[in-house]
Amino acid sequence: MWNEWCDAQRTTNTTQLNEQEQQLHRWLPPRQGWLKCNVDAGFHNDGSITSGGWCIRDDVGQFIHAGSYWLNGKYSILEAEALAILEAMKVVCNMNLEHVTFESDSQSVVAAIQANHVGVSNFSLLIASIKSLLILKYTF
């Protein structure tokens, strides 16, 4: 039993270290004269509440603006990540900011934004809305 407990502790500690390492990403600035908006989504209360947040910084890392929101309702992870990007983009538009790069940790959402796929799901509609705003003046 002692050996099994020791093995379990080693596995748990290794898993915790791997999870912590995955979150230790260094922020990279946008090109000179641009802003970067980092975006993320989250879930609370067994997924019945979805939240999103963003932080805008300039090319030297100076804080410009941040925001967040909470929505009642269950969204898929992809929908929540896309919704967070869309909400951040709306705020950036309302602030009349230009030369803004958006960054998300969701590779699937980024791939969908960069793809030519068109669909009728909620996720596809969110992606279409993001693409419409990107056409105006932003990069991803």
Quick one: pLDDT at residue 113?
A: 93
pTM of the model: 0.77
Phi-psi region of 107 (alpha: psi -120 to 50; beta: other; left: phi over 0): alpha
Please give the average per-residue pLDDT across 77-104, as a whole number.
94
Write out the E strands in the chain. Answer: 35-44, 49-58, 63-72, 100-104
**pLDDT higher than threshold 90 for residue 22:** no
Bridge partner list, 39: 54, 104
Question: What are the residue ranges spanned by the domains of the chain?
Answer: 28-137
Predicted confidence band of residue 44 (pLDDT cuts 50, 70, 90): confident
Task: Tell which wins on pLDDT, 1 or 132.
Answer: 132
**Up-side HSE of residue 123: CA atoms within 13 Å toward CB?**
15
**pLDDT higher than threshold 70 for residue 3:** no
Whole-number Cα distances in Å, 60 to 18, 64, 75, 98: 29, 11, 35, 16
**pLDDT higher than threshold 80 for residue 7:** no
**Do the beta carbons of residue 80 and residue 108 sit within 8 Å?**
no
Calculate the average pLDDT of the chain.
85
Task: Tell which wins on pLDDT, 128 or 17.
Answer: 128
Quick one: pLDDT at residue 117?
A: 75
Q: What superfamily would CATH give domain 28-137?
A: Ribonuclease H-like superfamily/Ribonuclease H (3.30.420.10)
Please give the average per-residue pLDDT across 81-107, as a whole number.
94
Quick one: pLDDT at residue 46?
A: 79
Please give the average per-residue pLDDT across 26-55, as a whole number.
92
Q: What percent of the chain has pLDDT over 70?
A: 79
